[in-house]
Structure 1
């Protein structure tokens, strides 16, 4: 073990949790995953797929599941660290070794491996496409609006469409369009200010 302190990155607190992370490693060693180092920390892969990562943060150490969104999570342990940004990543956070229940952790990991074997990944096209006739009309009359709208990532387009079309009455829809048009033109996503 050389001195790796220069390559910390997001793992700059790992030393604080050295024993705890060794405990998680010992659990992970019982699985068929292969340990690699990515982004300066241990990531466990199945084939070439990232399945699990471990790391230490300021207030907790964690095991994260790259496709954690598919885990059943019966114990309600998983948190989504950044809503919207990470669609599939989920973290299980611990603040002490006592909280690490090997049997439970292994259940989650085995489930994650199984999901990987089945090739479960998020397919963004799950959601029904929403069409807003009214917004389309606006865009026909205003090419700049259409162009600006098309520059948004699909999920942001979806947020706008959902916002407009979830209104029951046409006048509400029109009022909502009025509200979002300037945002679209300025390339501001509907929920950006909350992100």
Structure 2
């Protein structure tokens, strides 16, 4: 499996199929091609850049657009999309290199006080090869090999990210959701100090994360 971090929460997962997760406003989307699916965890702009979505889908005509129920209203008028809920299983790619995606989750992590919440789904690829939780600390019901872990945001503190890695106990933890930090390397370094399986991806560079 190969991963490419395009900034913040946006990751390209290649397991035969090419799956792009959370193309948001802080992500580099120019030139991303040959996608089988674009998966959106929730409606917030840092995870879904509506202004660039139409162009992204136009450049990837065979790709399916997958969104949660809260996000569906924001993509009306764009290419046909699939609305998912926890418990759904999707398949993408050619039969000989097919990827399965299980939809997990429920709600976005509480931001602060009475700030309204929204739905948030996580995507478990190939029965645990990779998990993207969106803006949540959801622990999947089965083992995870590579976990994308948020490291910054108004709804979390770094100690919670450490606790999350320890709860899931993946072979590799990939930091993400760092787009608003002034020093992402520092955050990743602090996570590594407490979760040594942390592996920071070089933005825009494909990395093989197989055992």
**TM-score bracket for this pair, using the shorter chain length:** under 0.3
TM-score (norm 2): 0.23
Between Structure 1 and Structure 2, the one with more helix by share is 1
TM-score normalised per structure 1: 0.25
Structure with more relative contact order (C-alpha pairs < 8 Å, separation 6 or more): 2
